[in-house]
């Protein structure tokens, strides 16, 4: 019996896992202190609409999702920091980014757990953990427990919710 994984099957399972939020059947333990935190930036929806592009507004404020493999950050491997496009809150370092083959930028850890709020998301019959920016409350994506070591987490993030600042390496 051939034990080599079929890449097409792996891709399909990875995509299905991402879309449905199913992983190995275990629920993530959400950070209870993060759940009670309130965003520091409070703007009206009209203010957000003026600041953000229609796509950014849909994802960050209406909890939308970009099409898989459409993000400019999906295959982006420069060294630097990924921040919230709405408020500049630094969220992920590039050295925690990995290729999850799921169609969205993925990270195995947040730059600082206090910069992201985790909340249960049971929309459309799915059980997932939503991640939002702790500074402005913008929807970033979801976190799953099927990521690589050392954390075992996969922060699956809409690239539209991110901006990138390149960090020059010292010589």
Residue 65, Cβ density class (10 Å: 0-12 exposed, 13-18 middle, ≥19 buried):
middle
CB within 8 A of 101, min separation 6: which ones? 10, 11, 14
Contact status, residue 162 vs residue 144, Cβ threshold 8 Å: no
Contact status, residue 59 vs residue 160, Cβ threshold 8 Å: yes
In the set 84, 87, 133, 156, the catalytic residue is 156
Q: How far apart are CA 70 and CA 160, in angstroms?
A: 9
Active site residue 136: no
Q: How far apart are CA 60 and CA 64, in angstroms?
A: 7
Structure tokens at 4: 């080599």
Q: How far apart are CA 160 and CA 84, in angstroms?
A: 9
What are the residue numbers of the active site?
156
């Amino acid at each position: 019996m051939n034990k080599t994984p079929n890449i097409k099957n792996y891709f399909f399972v990875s995509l299905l896992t991402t879309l449905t939020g199913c992983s190995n059947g275990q629920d993530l333990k959400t950070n209870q202190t993060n759940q009670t935190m309130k965003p520091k930036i409070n703007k009206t929806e009209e203010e957000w609409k003026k600041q953000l592009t229609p796509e950014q507004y849909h994802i960050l404020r209406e909890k939308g999702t970009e099409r898989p493999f459409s993000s400019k950050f999906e295959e982006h491997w420069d060294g630097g920091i990924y921040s919230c496009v709405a408020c500049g809150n630094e969220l992920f370092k590039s050295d925690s980014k990995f290729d999850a083959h799921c169609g969205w930028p993925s990270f195995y850890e947040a730059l600082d757990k206090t910069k992201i709020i985790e909340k249960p998301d049971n929309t459309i019959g799915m059980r997932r953990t939503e991640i939002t920016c702790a500074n402005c409350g913008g929807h970033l994506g979801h976190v799953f427990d099927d990521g690589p070591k050392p954390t075992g987490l996969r922060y699956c993030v809409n690239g539209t919710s991110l901006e990138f600042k390149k960090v020059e390496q010292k010589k």
